[in-house]
Amino acid sequence: MKNIERKLFVTLIILFVCDTFLFSQNSKAQSNTSSVQESTEVFVFPACKYNRLNGKNTPLVIEKKEKVKLRMCTGQIQSFTLLLSTQKKLRDIQLKWNPFKGNGNSLKASAMDVHIAKVWYQAGISTNEVNKKILTQELLLNNDSIIQIDTIQKINYLLVKDLFNKKKYIDISSPNASVPSDVIIEDSPVFLPFHMDEKTNKQLWFRIEIPENTLPGTYNTFIMISSKEGEIKSIPVEVEVLPFQLDESRLLYGIYYHGVLAEEGYKKKPFHWSYKSRNQLILELQDLKKHGIKYPSLYCKYEMLEEELAIRKTLQFPMDKLFQLGLRTSNPQSESGIDSLKKAIQMWKEKVEKLGVLHLYVYGIDEAKDAKLRSERAAWNAVHESGASVFVSVNPYAYKDVADILDVAISRAKPTRIQADAYHKNNGLILSYANPHTGEENPEVYRRNYGLVIWKSGYDGYFDYAYQKGHGTIWNDFDSPAHRDQVFTYPSSNGLMNTIQWEGFREGVNDTRFLSTLLNRTEKLKASGKNVEAAESFIESIDPSGDLDQIRDAIIDQILILQ
């Protein structure tokens, strides 16, 4: 009996010690969590508001909302961001969320993804600056450690792997630094845990894509943010899936895309803005289409037309117009020169029409002006006589010389109504360009200037320079004395790496899609005899210089009223 009592006593002691230990550990964990939560803040950070971050500064536009709320259509992709700011060091920060739930329906957790908006050194703010070294967020990464920065020397280091899978960091911001051709550059396929030092912040860039078959209604989930030191915060996300389909934009969206199928060139220079493997070319074209670009230019030579156009047809790019730069007009003045141009155009025209292209566009002399611009008129007449059309970049005053003959003017700088009217008077199109060129780490300027500003100015669309153009090594913004690299994306070994400016551009395309949806419904109802004066008055009142998120919300409200 005494042995039983002794064993019972020992058991009670053990249970007491275990309970005390567990209580201590739980108290410690709760204390750590409390400490982390007190020292860390999470802000809802408008994705396309211009805020140049250096990892420590406080953004000019910041909102301390307790909930993320979005209104979207099926098939649409939309961005939102959070700013994570901490006063203490945090390790292994993780983001998790469950599927969206609502009204008996659900959205898969995979409908939303997240990237870190990586801060690194760039050569300036505008694309014309080359002599600065400033910190800014730009790259959207799954693996935060792909880029490391030295804040003393102001150097960017890029993580690469050699042929033996050995990792190392290489300098990509010294004037003579380049990326070797025998290394691998790749982001992680999944979002990885990351670290933060004390008194720093990180912008977390989220994207949601609503599948085509999603039922209208409200869907909810929570983004749970935690670290090795404890839980940080849980952010509710509410998505209202709207009860209408989003129409295609009325604007034409093209871009100077230099990528050409060049397997041998790609092997020698795998991170080049022009030389592409078949897989790389397909991935980039898919990315262009996902961002609303239906008419990327074609730079390939005549011999590669069949192969390149076959890829575009497979990816379901429209074939009604082909904006190509493999054949150009130049400015021949002699009869023999004009005849040679006509023969070349006829050869190209016959080839592309057999491949399904309805109309061929031939490029003039890039940004020619005054006498040189006027000298092209004979060549452009020859293009028309051959059954093709002319497109080319021009200055804002070119309409005085060629509005009567130029089919598609790609006009640089700020859009003006006088240009639009001049080209439209002669049945020409005018597209916006260099307002600014690509490469500025500013999502707001691309959303605004290449979205509602184009429409309000009476322009027909967009054709900027360029999807990727390196002035040296495209990963090095400091190796050209004259230009910054003009990029929406950076080439990598397994595809491409996205940027905040490219996502801002997509929001601009979506703004015009919502507006086009409203315009189409208004015109249809008016044609059927309905009173749409209120909608017409609202459309006339849209000011593209205003808050673009508020404008989109107001457009959605108008569409719902017409529903």
pLDDT beyond 50 at 21:
no
554 contacts 538 by C-beta, under 8 angstroms: yes
Q: Average pLDDT over the chain, rounded to whole? A: 94
Q: For position 103, what pLDDT does the model report?
A: 83
pLDDT beyond 70 at 31:
no
What is the spatial distance between Cα 78 and Cα 556, in angstroms, rounded to a whole number? 15
Radius of gyration of the chain (CA): 28
3-state SS of 49-113? Answer: CCCCCCCCCCCCCCECCCCEEEEECCCCEEEEEEEEEECCCEEEEEEECCCEEECCEEECHHHEE
Question: Of 29-33, 63-67, 461-465, 542-546, where does mean pLDDT reach its minimum?
Answer: 29-33
Reported confidence tier of residue 4, pLDDT bands at 50, 70, 90: low
For the four alpha carbons of 338, 344, 348 and 350, in that order, the dihedral sign comes to positive
Task: Please tell me what DSSP assigns to residue 302.
Answer: G
Q: For position 15, what pLDDT does the model report?
A: 46
pTM of the entire structure? 0.93
Helices (H), 194-277: 263-268
Reported confidence tier of residue 25, pLDDT bands at 50, 70, 90: very low
Q: For position 58, what pLDDT does the model report?
A: 84
91 contacts 216 by C-beta, under 8 angstroms: no
pLDDT beyond 70 at 30:
no
Q: For position 17, what pLDDT does the model report?
A: 43
Question: Tokens at residue 315, please?
Answer: 């990816």
135 contacts 119 by C-beta, under 8 angstroms: yes
What is the spatial distance between Cα 524 and Cα 425, in angstroms, rounded to a whole number? 26
Integer angstrom CA distances of residue 148 from 227, 382, 514: 21, 54, 39
Integer angstrom CA distances of residue 349 from 218, 263, 311, 364, 459: 51, 26, 19, 16, 28
pLDDT beyond 90 at 11:
no
Whose CA is closest to 283, among 187, 379, 183, 385?
187
More confident residue, 11 or 561: 561
Question: Tokens at residue 378, please?
Answer: 């004979």
Integer angstrom CA distances of residue 489 from 120, 437, 515: 15, 13, 27
Kindly state the average pLDDT of the residues 299-318: 98
Whose CA is closest to 314, among 346, 281, 342?
281
| Sheet with strand 112-122: strands edge to edge | 40-45, 77-86, 200-209, 112-122, 134-141, 495-499, 490-492
Reported confidence tier of residue 3, pLDDT bands at 50, 70, 90: low
What is the spatial distance between Cα 210 and Cα 187, in angstroms, rounded to a whole number? 24
248 contacts 461 by C-beta, under 8 angstroms: no
In terms of C-beta density within 10 A (0-12 exposed, 13-18 middle, 19 or more buried), how is residue 60 classed? exposed
Among 54-68, 122-136, 386-400, which range has the highest average pLDDT?
386-400
Reported confidence tier of residue 60, pLDDT bands at 50, 70, 90: confident
pLDDT digits (tens, 9 = 90+) for 240-251: 999 999 999 999
* C-alpha 198 chain-centroid distance: 30
Q: Count CB-CB contacts under 10 A for residue 289.
A: 15
Q: For position 5, what pLDDT does the model report?
A: 56
pLDDT digits (tens, 9 = 90+) for 260-285: 999 999 999 999 999 999 999 999 99
pLDDT beyond 60 at 26:
no
State the amino acid at position 297 in one-letter form. Answer: S
**Opening angle at CA 259, ends 256 and 262, nearest 5:** 155
Q: How far apart are the first and last CA of the chain?
A: 84
Region for 199 from its dihedrals, namely left if φ exceeds 0, alpha if ψ lies in -120 to 50, beta otherwise? left
Reported confidence tier of residue 27, pLDDT bands at 50, 70, 90: very low
pLDDT beyond 90 at 174:
yes
What percent of the chain has pLDDT above 70? Answer: 94
Whose CA is closest to 79, among 252, 237, 251?
237
For the four alpha carbons of 552, 435, 326 and 481, in that order, the dihedral sign comes to negative
